């Protein structure tokens, strides 16, 4: 099992849900569920990245959290079987193990360790949402872009991933022309390379130096909570 959250469970807890899992691929731009919908499945990404999007009054969206193989998607928007508070959209192509939400709810009801593991993950996710909101309000766009690219890089399977300027602009809630300008600055410094529809991280340490402190703050909290932390080029 390539999902780190499931892999961290004890053998008895894994047996509660593994027989009910089925693999499902997801493609960039695919909506897993929309805000206001009942969430019928819990998604455990094994590769790829899913973004939780907040919908604004003018139908624009902005990313508030990114989830990869370290976590799960579908019970983090509210109580089980409640309607989703945000839209879940695939940001990077991947594959997920999926479990019916009622099966997962029963497993949680039977296992205190599973409830604790879920509580720790949702606490770390809530912290990511809060940190991202503060970051979007206070930090320079170049710092925010570096932080966001690091977040995606940790959860992607390679240094290069398919992203357009429009994709990045939508995630950060800014104009595409602004993303192009700031991206060019990072590229001129040798931190990234860009092509038509893709971005490649070329100097990871320098990109970390260019990011604001929000990236390190989120990872530090995940460490304190003892939840799995994805890292580019590493298994944990």
pLDDT in tens, 179-210: 889 999 999 999 999 988 899 999 999 999 99
Phi, psi of 111 (to 5 degrees): -135, 115
Q: Which two tokens mark 86?
A: 């945000």
Average pLDDT on 16-28 reads 95
Q: What span, in angstroms and rounded, lies between the C-alpha atoms of 232 and 236?
A: 9
Nearest C-alpha neighbor of 16 from the set 79, 106, 95, 98:
106
Q: Which residues contact 227 (CB under 8 A, 6 or more apart)?
A: 5, 70, 71, 117, 120, 121, 124
Characterise 36 by phi-psi region: left (phi > 0), alpha (psi -120 to 50), beta (else): left
Which residue has better confidence, 202 or 232?
202
pLDDT in tens, 51-72: 998 887 777 788 889 999 999 9
- pLDDT score at 235: 43
pLDDT at 133 over 90: no
Name residue 24's beta-bridge partners.
96
pLDDT in tens, 68-83: 999 999 875 444 546 7
Q: What span, in angstroms and rounded, lies between the C-alpha atoms of 52 and 38?
A: 15
Q: Is the pTM of this model over 0.85?
A: yes
């Amino acid at each position: 099992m390539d999902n780190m959250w499931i892999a961290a469970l004890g053998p008895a807890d894994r047996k509660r849900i593994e027989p009910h899992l089925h693999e499902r691929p997801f493609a960039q731009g695919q909506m897993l569920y929309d805000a206001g919908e009942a969430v019928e499945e819990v998604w455990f990404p094994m590769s790829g990245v899913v973004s939780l999007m907040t919908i604004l009054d003018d139908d624009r969206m902005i990313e508030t959290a990114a989830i990869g193989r370290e976590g799960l998607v579908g019970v983090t928007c509210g109580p089980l079987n409640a309607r989703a508070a945000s839209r879940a959209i695939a940001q990077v192509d991947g594959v997920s193990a999926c479990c019916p939400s009622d099966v997962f709810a029963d497993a949680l009801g039977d296992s205190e360790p599973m409830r604790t593991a879920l509580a720790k993950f949702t606490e770390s996710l809530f912290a990511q949402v809060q940190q991202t909101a503060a970051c979007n309000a206070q930090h320079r766009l170049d710092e925010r872009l570096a932080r966001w690219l690091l977040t995606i890089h940790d959860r992607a399977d390679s240094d290069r991933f398919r992203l357009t300027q429009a994709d990045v602009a939508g995630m950060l809630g800014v104009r595409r022309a602004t993303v192009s300008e700031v991206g060019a600055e990072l590229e001129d410094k040798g931190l990234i390379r860009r092509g038509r529809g893709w971005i490649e991280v070329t100097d990871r340490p320098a990109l970390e130096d260019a990011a604001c402190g929000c990236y390190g703050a989120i990872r530090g909290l995940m460490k304190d909570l003892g939840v799995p932390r994805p890292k580019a080029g590493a298994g944990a």
